Structure 1
Amino acid sequence: MSVEWNPDPAAGMPVFKQIARFYEERILKGDLPPGVRLPAERELAVRLKVNRSTVSAAYEELRAGGFVTSIKGSATRVCELLWEEKPVPVPNWRRYTGSRAFDPAMSIYRRQHEAARIPGMINLTKGELSPDLMPLHLLQELAMEVDYSCPFSYHDDFRGDLGLRTTLADTLQAEQGITVTPEHLLITSGVKHSLHLIAHTLLQPGDAIAVEGPSYLYAMGVFPAAGLRMVRLPVDSGGLIPEALPALVHKHRVRMVFTNPTFQNPTGTSLSSARRQKLLEVCESLRLPVVEDDPYGALSLDPGNPPPPSLKALNGGDRFVICLGTLSKTATPGMRLGWIAAPLPVTGRLAQAKNRMGCSTSHAGERLAHRYLLSAAAQTHLATVRRILALRRACMLQALREHAGGLAQPAAPEAVPGGFYLWLRLKHPVPDRELVEAGIREGVLIYPGSLFGAEPGFLRLTYASVGEAEITEGVRRLGRALAGLAGG
């Protein structure tokens, strides 16, 4: 890689900062994509006619900014993942200003977005129900029952509509065994809003948080935008490993744990009852709060094998678990309706933050959600969603057996079926960008593992947003793409 540039000693900026700025701009423009090797320090020093210590300082600046990573005895490369692997030896000022300009996965997202417009492209990435599974007619009917006699003014209680919170508390108790009062509940516009409130209110820039790896939380961008450091919590085929947490807390001073323990996105795994209880015991001993994201808990696809109880419902969970929920996965994401169930002091503080940030939820939307939760038809709809998702999941597994030829198989075949996704392990791992491009050439969109913080060799498919005919054809196209990459 040639360098057609030289720093200017008279520019009024330290030379090492000029070098760092030069590479930073090339990385942000995409001229140096994730994974590309930068010149060795000695080599670059000779090219630029500077001391090696100057190049070392420039590379340290890039590492602190999250642009490059270096392994002792190996090369310096453009970052491919956002996980915090070791304590940062110098202040990362990008974290403290609450921004992260560089996202290694952004080029893949951008490419997928462009390709989605191609006629005939089958999209196996969308994490939402297909329109035929959304209760649109029911919502239209219920909208006629919404009470408009009360004015749509600013809430006296920033937690949200009292009627909705009362019904929601009853629903959580009846369906999940979670005991809360309306005062423990805060209505939000969805999980991302909930995470934003927690990240900007309960944590500080520079704080470390433990997140399952892989995890969809990695992909959302909420935590880096809040200046938080994501530390990878190891997982196996049974989900996160609670025993790994104390060492991470000691090494990185972790302040909070984020987990999606039921039908986890993207792996589809659910923590066993034993691991859930162990996680609570470990976190209690460390005085470490847990944020439990549970968007898929109601979507068990095997009636005879339901998932274990929510962390919030277990012994001790009421004291230090913050539970997040939403109607986006069981109804429609357009409702923009979610909630936080937390200890009273936490809910009160988050409610004040919600008001200060101006992120009020829709009063009409809250009242519609209230009618929806009270409706017996909503439960009938949910049963239909479960039944059809189970059929689509079986269809996708069958298509993989027929068309992928062993090139992609479920990474956790013993996982209890539920949620929206299949997490696949490739027989022949390839760089994720090659995988994405091969799929696009064949007319199918998939999400590679790196978008969720996984190493190459994994991908996620959804069966929620497409019908069985598209599932079969999409997997057939994926099989062709994988065969081509494997040289078949």
Structure 2
Amino acid sequence: MWELNKEKGLPVYRKIIELILSYIREGELLPGEKLPAERRLAEKLGVNRSTVVHALEELEDMGWLIRKQGSGSFVAEGKWGIASTARTDWRRYLEQNAFNKTEPFIEKMNQLMSENSDQILDVYTGELPLELIPSFDIPPLTWKHFLEEEEQDDFGYLPLRESICRMVEKEYDFSLQKESLLITSGAQQALFLILQVLLRAGDSVAIEDPSFFYALPIFQAAGIRLYGVPMDDEGIELMSLEQLIRQHRVKMVMVNPSFQNPTGKVMGVRRRQELVKLCQKYQIPIVEDDVFGQLSEISAIQIPPLKKLDPENVLYIGSLSKILGSTTKIGWLSAPPSVNRQIAEARKIMDFSLSIFPQLLGNIALNDPSFDEKLSLLKNEVHQRGEAVYTVLKKLECWKVEKPQGGFYLWATFLGKELKQNDWQQFLREGLLAAPGFLFSRDRNSVRINFSRVSAEQLPLFRQKIEKISESIFKTTESRK
């Protein structure tokens, strides 16, 4: 008794679970019978005590054991002395949940954010601070008005689609057809639907490295293989991308060419043209994430959307959430009509209903006479905040940083030895909550900062914190040499 099988590939704690279950089922362990003490059982099995504890906890969760502090572990007794029916091992299923694998660093940041302290500066959250979000007057609306609104089909609220088409034409001087525009509950739903409808588990997708796509659990949950392509000052390196396409049979290329998240890089028009030609050559569709398009400081002529260069091959994702706040949850996907029809049908089957309420609010905002003026004021304020944060970092010789040209992210790289986990803890200790590079790639020396969240009043606090962190990291790094 108490001998583990030698099956390879099975964790030791699972072997212990299977061994105890076999003894219970075969009657060698009876209802109410006490198991050997944890330390004694570990000695018998030749394993660590912690491994035994893990196995016993699992068996308790499954209903097979009852553990009493100070008394030990006992085989559970069901009614009338019959052992309880085995329960599903839900923990084992939950361990496979890609949406539940939160990075410990993010958990700690969320904990600090909940403290709501004046000394905590959040430059991690990927949205505008509340004070910068434009405010628009809402005309009197009754509940009946919402119920009577009939201009929504499977593609979304028609007046909003028309308003988005007008906005894109005005901004970029090219036309999106309202028949090919699908309203989504934010940009991430558009991504999710693309993965579900156009790809299947095991398919390969090329993304920029670093990229916020790397941080999204929806790819892992869908079984999609992500491959990072290095970037230069112009964005994704095309020679590396072509090599990757040949090597891994890439099915789709996903890029964020304007104010890339997290680096803030902007892909020039020539690189955009070459990227389009490369993907046409291999007949691979491009997903273009353009959620920062409305926060540009560069002329649209210099950075035309990939969708404008290749309307048929590019799936174009836009969003109002970056300027109207994430709670609006308004995004859109422009794709060939046949593609969007399939995606709209799939969404309906999944029962992802699209609320009319945020769509009406989005349409009201886009048609407000003051929309252009308020957007201009927003861009000006965000620009000033970006310049201020950039200036602070530029003066610190240990950080390499590029001046932002739009969006609201700044990417800073530490110019010393590779940073360790303890170095990043300095950010948490000082209450400067930023996004480390390892959230977006293998890069451990860079940090993403949402400069829109640093007001003029908060700038001295930001300067104080980043200077103190930099000094501390530099000293720690020097001590390792």
In which range does the TM-score fall when normalised by the shorter chain? 0.7 to 0.9
Which 5+ residue runs of structure 1 have no aligned equivalent?
1-5, 23-47, 50-93
Specify the alignment match of 1:230 in structure 2. 226
Report the Cα distance in structure 1 between the residues aligned to 2:292 and 2:164, rounded to whole angstroms.
16
Structure-2 change in CA distance of 1:114 and 1:150 (3 Å): closer
Q: 5 Å matches for 1:48-447?
A: 99-100=97-98, 103=101, 106-118=103-115, 119=117, 120-136=119-135, 138=136, 141-144=137-140, 149=145, 151=147, 157-301=153-297, 307-314=302-309, 317-402=310-395, 405-410=396-401, 413=402, 417-431=405-419, 433-447=421-435
Q: CA deviation at 1:465?
A: 2.2
Partner of 2:147: helix, strand, or coil? coil
- Corresponding residue pairs, total: 398
SS in 2 for 1:375: coil
Q: 1:161 to 1:400 in 2, by over 3 A?
A: same
Return the alpha-carbon distance in structure 2 between the equivalents of residues 102 and 376 of structure 1.
44
User: Which stretch shows the higher mean deviation, 384-393 or 110-119?
Assistant: 110-119
Distance in 2 (CA, whole Å) between partners of 1:342 and 1:395 is 39
TM-score (norm 1): 0.76
C-alpha change, 1:319 and 1:227, in structure 2 (3 Å) is same
Q: What does residue range 444-483 of structure 1 map to in structure 2 within 5 Å?
A: 444-483=432-471
- Secondary structure of 2:422 counterpart: helix
CA–CA distance in structure 1, aligned partners of residues 219 and 178 of structure 2: 28
CA deviation profile, 1:233-277 (whole Å, cap 9, x unmatched)? 221122111222221112111110100000111111110100000
- Residues 172, 300 of structure 2: 8 Å contact kept: no
Per the TM alignment, residue 361 of structure 1 is displaced from its structure 2 partner at its CA by 1.7
Paired letter, 1:260? N
TM-score calculated relative to the size of structure 2:
0.77
- Which residue pairs with 2:38 in the alignment? none
Q: Distance in 2 between matches of 1:286 and 1:341?
A: 21
Larger radius of gyration: 2
Measure the CA separation in 2 of the matches of 1:152 and 1:99. 40
Change (3 A) 1:434 1:306: farther
- Counterparts of 2:409 and 2:332, CA distance in 1: 23
Q: Matched residue of 1:142: which SS? A: coil
Report the 3-state secondary structure (helix = DSSP H, G, I; strand = E; otherwise coil) of the residue aligned with 1:265: coil
Q: Partners of 1:109 and 1:281 in 2: how far apart?
A: 39
Q: Is the 8 A contact 2:146 2:356 kept in 1?
A: no
Corresponding residue for residue 55 of structure 1: none
Unaligned regions of 5+ residues in structure 2, if any?
A: 16-44, 47-91, 477-481
CA distance in 1, matches of 2:145, 2:100: 49
Q: Is the 8 A contact 1:99 1:224 kept in 2?
A: no
Which position in structure 1 is the counterpart of 2:69? Answer: none
Any idea what the Cα deviations from partners look like across 1:343-371, whole Å, max 9, x if unmatched? Answer: 11111011111111121221122122112
For 1:329, what is the secondary structure of its paired residue?
helix
RMSD (Å), alpha carbons:
2.8
In 1, the alpha carbon distance for the partners of 2:219 and 2:292 equals: 21
Read off the aligned partner of 1:310 and give its amino acid letter.
P
